Amino acid sequence: MRNVTIDNVTDVVIESLGRHQEIPARQREIMESLIRHLHGFCKDVRLTHGEFLQACDYLGRAGAICSDKRQEFILLGDILGVEVLVDMLTNPIQGEETISTVLGPFFRENAPVMPKGATTVRKNFEGQETVFVEGYVRDVEGAPIAGAIIDIWEDAPNGLYENHDHDQPDYNLRGRFETDANGHYALRAIRPVPYPIPSDETAGELIRYMGHHSMRPGHLHMMVTRDGYRSLISQIYDSSSPHLDDDSVFAVKEALIGEFRKAPEGADTDLTLRFDFILPRAEAKRMAAE
Ligand SMILES: [Fe+2]
């Protein structure tokens, strides 16, 4: 094609797919749609060459600040509502199972495996509120799931996750806990506080460009896994937290809002939180993929 025009450029690029090398059907599907939407977007807004160069510079800077401790592109996907959309597409609600929500950029693998009831607090902050968290993990018929792993992570009272804060000990406020024979789990942690997602770099530029704010409501991140069951990535939100209705990453779900209650007299934490999880059986096809 020697005469590419505004009218034919999209088809010309799509026709090039697989021209010199066979590509898998899924790859073709992704690229064809991406090209159509990307070209459509450029036409919609009449994107200028200057704006195109600005976008290239922006993406370059976003990539440059990624490291093993910072994943800027997940943040960008969160701010645009892409991660929550992809999560809903990947994990459609089928019945009574606990609803999932975004993983976010702060998860770290290999959190310490801890005994039932232990605390994830490795550094104390003034004004922190400790919480005893417990509940059951069950299947959709209500049978207990023993040996499920609850991987939990949260921000400190200064609003920072430990991997973004040099002053917190490694794996502070992170831990993995196993359910007992009754499917029961228990741990000690602190009440999570609302925090701004990192907005010092390109994520902040995007938030400001959108005229949005960067705040998230207080939440505990949880990942619940057990062989034979669908893995759950979710968050529990503090019912009394601000920003439940204007979360900067659009990840709040009504069913994930929990009550942090005042602990009974004599308890060794300030608060208690009860939250149960329901995991459906994994489908064979999905298990193979995982
Ligand atoms: Fe978070």
- Domain of 254, CATH number, reads 2.60.130.10
What is the reported pTM? 0.87
Q: 164 alpha carbon to ligand 1 midpoint, in Å? A: 12
Is 183 a member of any domain? yes
CA of 37 to the centre of ligand 1 (A): 30
117 lies in some domain:
yes
Distance 49 CA to ligand 1 centre (A): 37
Overall number of domains in the chain: 1
Distance between Cα 138 and ligand 1 center (Å): 25
**How is residue 14 written in tokens?**
């799509």
Distance of CA 123 to the CA centre of its chain: 24
Instruction: Let me know if residue 36 belongs to a domain.
Output: no
In tens, the pLDDT along 254-285 reads 999 999 999 999 999 999 999 999 999 987 55
Q: Is residue 234 a part of any domain in this protein?
A: yes
In tens, the pLDDT along 4-36 reads 999 999 999 999 999 999 999 999 999 999 999
Q: Indicate whether 39 belongs to any domain.
A: no
162 burial level (CB within 10 Å; 0-12, 13-18, 19+): buried
Residues forming beta bridges with residue 152, ordered by sequence position: 175, 222
Q: Nearest to residue 94, comparing CAs of 226, 238, 221, 278?
A: 278
Domain that holds residue 197: 83-289
Position 248 in a domain: yes
Q: Is residue 73 in some structural domain?
A: no
The reply to whether 132 falls in a domain is yes
45 alpha carbon – ligand 1 mean position (Å): 33
Alpha carbon of 154 to ligand 1 centroid (Å): 6
Rounded to the nearest angstrom, the distance between the alpha carbon of 146 and the centre of ligand 1 is 27
Which is higher by pLDDT, 200 or 238? 238
Q: How far is the CA of 106 from the centre of ligand 1 (A)?
A: 7
